């Protein structure tokens, strides 16, 4: 795997709970959280997604304390009857929070954050000793398991993972395109995006349309795949998978485009990107996603000011742009 140069510039990062920002970094837990919206309870800080959010923050800002927070979410344990064998149990947040239902998404965000930031040995140590049953609720999928083998340097795992992607991704992406055509979803410019338009559009769906709407291959899975590819060696098969993924990537998803080797992203694209409330790069702006990515100011009058600090999505894009254009 090509080791990227570390960049630890502050950009818009300001640590601490008291910062006037939508996202904040808890310096005691070393985890990244979100402040609740005006209509939510005070406990709605996104603790269930803290691991993947901290992983994304580590990619964007490269702070050691963020790495420490990620590592703290993996508890080493042994069974006396099995001698020297040991495993790592992941959790959704430090302090063993969410060990019973930690998901592949959470582990993925932690693993590729460590890998692209150069903490390869520590990450491989955890991956090597992560069980197939990652929690009481979830198991690894076959493709995720193959990727973990590729990360450990198993060439057979890397080849089989690429081949499985080449066989399955076209089916899923073509299905998504069919649904887009049937349901009238079209990407809009970020400056024109309003989540309420998507809600209003879906209100008109009949039962068949609602069923189709639920059958999308999720955009966050494609985004994970882009980061997975960043962590394995360059090869012909890797380029094939990247080209297939580009069939679905939105024009405005600059992170996925850069990760797939798109050379047409420009400095103007980076500079004109507007920070959003949620994590834009794992979502789409065609109205099909339920997550409101950029809340209008009328919903929360202080939100525009809050988005000036801890711009995770924008700073991640800036970091990746600096690495890819050299």
With CA atoms as reference, report the closest residue to 293 among 195, 187, 192, 190. Answer: 195
Interior/surface letters 206-220, b for 16+ CB within 10 angstroms, e for the rest: eeeeeebbeebbbbb
pLDDT at 299 over 70: no
What percent of the chain shows pLDDT beyond 70?
95
- Whether the CB-CB separation of 69 and 75 falls below 8 Å is answered with no
Q: pLDDT band at residue 10, thresholds of 50, 70 and 90? A: low
pLDDT band per the 50, 70, 90 thresholds, residue 78: confident
| Site of tokens 């692209």 | 116
Could you give the C-alpha distances from 226 to 68, 200, 248, 252, 253, in angstroms and in order? 24, 31, 12, 15, 12
**CA distances (Å), origin 267, targets 259, 315, 321:** 16, 14, 8
Q: What are the distances in angstroms from CA 260 to CA 42, 100, 191, 242?
A: 39, 34, 24, 5
pLDDT of 36 above 60:
yes
Taking residues 56-75, what's their average pLDDT? 97
> Which of 137, 146, 139, 138 is closest to 168 using CA atoms?
146
The tens digit of pLDDT for each residue in 221-269 reads 999 999 999 999 999 999 999 999 999 999 999 999 999 999 999 999 9
**pTM passes above 0.85:** yes
Asked whether the predicted pLDDT for residue 3 surpasses 60, the reply is no
* Position with higher pLDDT, 8 vs 122: 122
Residue 81 pLDDT exceeds 80: no
Distance in angstroms (rounded) separating the CA atoms of residues 4 and 9: 15
Which stretches does DSSP call E strand in the chain? Answer: 23-26, 31-34, 74-78, 86-90
Question: Which segment, 10-19, 176-185, 304-313, is predicted with the most confidence on average?
Answer: 176-185
Q: What is the per-residue pLDDT across 134-160, written as a single tens digit (0 to 9) for each?
A: 999 999 999 999 999 999 999 999 999
CA atoms 90, 96, 99, 102: torsion sign: negative
Element (H, E) at 105: helix 104-116
* Closest C-alpha to 107, from 118, 119, 123, 83: 123
Using the 8-state DSSP alphabet, how is residue 13 labeled? -
Q: Report the DSSP pairing between strands 31-34 and 74-78.
A: unpaired
């Amino acid at each position: 795997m090509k080791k990227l140069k570390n960049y630890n510039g502050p950009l818009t990062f300001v640590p601490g709970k008291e910062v006037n920002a939508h996202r904040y970094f808890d310096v005691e837990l070393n985890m990244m959280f979100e402040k609740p919206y005006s209509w939510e309870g005070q406990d709605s800080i996104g603790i269930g997604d803290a691991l993947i959010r901290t992983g994304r923050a580590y990619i964007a800002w490269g702070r050691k304390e963020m790495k420490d927070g990620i590592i703290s979410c993996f508890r080493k344990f042994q069974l006396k009857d099995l001698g020297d064998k040991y495993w790592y149990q992941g959790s959704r947040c430090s302090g063993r929070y969410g060990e019973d239902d930690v998901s592949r998404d959470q582990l993925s965000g932690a693993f590729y954050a460590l890998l692209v930031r150069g903490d390869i040995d520590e990450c491989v140590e955890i991956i090597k000793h992560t069980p197939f049953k990652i929690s009481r609720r979830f198991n690894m999928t076959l493709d995720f398991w193959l990727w973990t083998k590729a990360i450990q340097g198993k060439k057979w795992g890397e080849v089989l993972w690429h081949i499985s992607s080449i066989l399955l991704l076209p089916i899923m992406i073509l299905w998504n395109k069919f649904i887009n055509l049937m349901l009238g979803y079209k990407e809009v410019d970020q400056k024109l995006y309003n989540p309420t338009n998507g809600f209003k559009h879906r209100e008109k769906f009949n039962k068949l349309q609602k069923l189709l709407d639920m059958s999308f291959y999720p955009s966050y899975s494609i985004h994970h795949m882009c980061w997975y590819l960043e962590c394995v060696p360059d090869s012909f098969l890797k380029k094939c998978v990247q080209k297939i993924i580009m069939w679905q990537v939105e024009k405005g998803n600059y992170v996925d485009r850069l990760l797939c080797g798109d050379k047409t992203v420009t400095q103007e694209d980076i500079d004109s990107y507007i920070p959003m409330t949620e994590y834009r790069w794992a979502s789409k702006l065609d109205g099909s996603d339920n997550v409101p990515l950029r809340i209008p100011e009328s919903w929360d009058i202080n939100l525009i000011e809050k988005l000036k600090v801890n711009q995770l999505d924008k700073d991640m894009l800036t970091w990746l742009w600096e690495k890819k254009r050299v």
